[in-house]
Amino acid sequence: MIPISKPFLGTEESETVARVLEKGQLAQGEEVERSEQEWARYIGTKFAVATNSGTSALHVVLAAHSIGEGDEVIVPSFTFIATANAALFVGAKPVFAEIEGESY
């Protein structure tokens, strides 16, 4: 079975969370800015933007690509509701696609 919601956290993640909590700034701040810069470098782009959730990230991606009214967005049938909702948020129509039961 594939653990679809099991986080993989190690020492580095724990230390990062501790640094953020010690600074008292849970949103924005230098840790988020550093993460955005590192991600942008990693993917080879000038900018990257952190979001507060996967839902927000999906919404931003669809809007950035001018997906909207009259468009169809293919989403997996085995998913969190945010996958379909993001399409609805921009006025598009989610279209569910089947997945392979063995591999997801």
Residue 104: is its pLDDT beyond 90?
Answer: no
Contact 54, 34 (CB under 8 A): no
**Whole-number pLDDT of residue 2:** 65
Mean pLDDT over the full length of the chain: 90
Greatest mean pLDDT range, 28-37, 57-66, 74-83, 92-101: 57-66
Residue 91: is its pLDDT beyond 90?
Answer: yes
Confidence class of residue 28 from pLDDT cuts 50, 70 and 90?
Answer: confident
pLDDT digits (tens, 9 = 90+) for 43-85: 999 999 999 899 999 999 999 999 999 999 999 988 889 999 9
pTM: 0.72
Token pair for residue 76? 């997996």
